Amino acid sequence: MKSNETPANALPPRDASKHGLHRTMTLGGKYATRNHTVKHLQDLKGKTVLTETMPFTTSEAVAAEEAGIDTLKVKFDPADPAGAIAIRNAAPHTFMTFCIGLTKIATAAEAVRAGYDAMDFGADGIMCQWGPEFIRAVADAGIPVEAHAGLVPRLSTWTGGLRAVGKTIEEAMWVFEQIQAFEQAGAWAVEVEVIPADLLTQISKRTRLVTSSIGAGSGGDIQFMFAEDILGNHAPPYPRHTKQYRNLYKMEQEIQVERVEGFREYIDDVKSGRFPGPEHIVKAPAGLIDQFLAELDGNQDDEISPK
């Protein structure tokens, strides 16, 4: 390496704290600066409510970091990690959890391997919908792991479909006992989805886990909503627990109309001879075409003359 080059993963600057960042090293062995670490998030439990989203594009990730979203989640497929890596790189200073799909893992050993892969790619932790056995294996390997309780959409057949969970005493106790089991297994956080708001408030007071609320009111430590819901990326209806702060779907529809009209006008101009016009073409210098035709005629005469 030349003396004037910056090392590929240089030690983070000592003044990172002036920018609201913490100097750290990922479990994958890379130096980094982050707005939060696991310890900072644990220390903030019960003191403030943080914000969290899941971007699906690098543009959304860049915007979320610039806006000051506290923590990010990203879908992570161990067999196809490119999308997660791109989003990690797009928001390099934001605490980011890689979410591993339920069916991507079949054994505790695979869970640990996938967790290590995520950390190698720059994750600050992983999130899963696994049971305590897999969570314990991952936590014992030193990987920060977030569990999922309440309504788990992929497991919703066991709780009666896509509906709120915890509205009976039996279900409320089941959710609480789930969270206790995750805590005992070594999780540091839990995403709690679509349970009564007051129930999460009480549960959050009774667990050491950092609670991330999605559709479960303001009683958690983190308020989580998908980027596509915040930005209104899709047509209605929207999930009841979401709020649209922009209507990018409407904007995209309007842009699509403009695309179609642009292509139609182009077709019409070509067919009518309006395009290309004089301003779009290169004009031949005076005499060039006459010289070109004369040259062609001369070549043709040479080809047909008898030998």
Angle between helices 132-140 and 169-185 (to 10 degrees): 20
How far is Cα 130 from Cα 102, in angstroms, rounded to an integer?
A: 7
Is the confidence at residue 4, as pLDDT, over 60? no
CATH 3.40.640.10 fits 16-244, yes or no: no
Cα three-residue angle 110-165-64, rounded to 5 degrees: 65
Tens-digit pLDDT profile for residues 143-200: 999 999 999 999 999 999 999 999 999 999 999 999 999 999 999 999 999 999 999 9
Cite the DSSP H helix spans in 186-287. 197-205, 227-230, 248-272
pLDDT beyond 80 at 54: yes
pLDDT score, position 305:
60
pLDDT 10s digits, 57-97: 999 999 999 999 999 999 999 999 999 999 999 999 999 99
Residue 45 has pLDDT above 50, yes or no: yes
When pLDDT is averaged across residues 255-264 and rounded to a whole number, the result is 98
Tens digit of pLDDT for each residue in 114-136? 999 999 999 999 999 999 999 99
> Which pTM does this prediction carry?
0.88
pLDDT at 299: 75
Q: Residue 298's pLDDT is what?
A: 84
> Distance between CA atoms of 110 and 230, rounded to whole angstroms?
34
Domain ranges for the chain, please list them.
Answer: 16-244, 253-304
The pLDDT of residue 7 is: 55
Q: Which of 52, 60, 146, 193 is catalytic?
A: 193
Q: What is the pLDDT of residues 260-277, one digit of tens each?
A: 999 999 999 999 999 999
Residue 302 has pLDDT above 90, yes or no: no
Rounded to the nearest 10 degrees, how much is the dihedral formed by the CA atoms of 86, 243, 204, 99? -20
pLDDT of 62 reads: 98
**Catalytic (active site) residue 193:** yes
Given this model, what pLDDT does residue 304 score? 59
pLDDT at position 9 = 72
**Number of neighbours of residue 100 by Cβ within 10 angstroms:** 28
Averaged confidence pLDDT in the chain: 94
Please report, rounded to a whole number, the percentage of residues in the chain having pLDDT higher than 70. 95
| Residue 107: pLDDT over 50 | yes
How much is the pLDDT for 206?
98
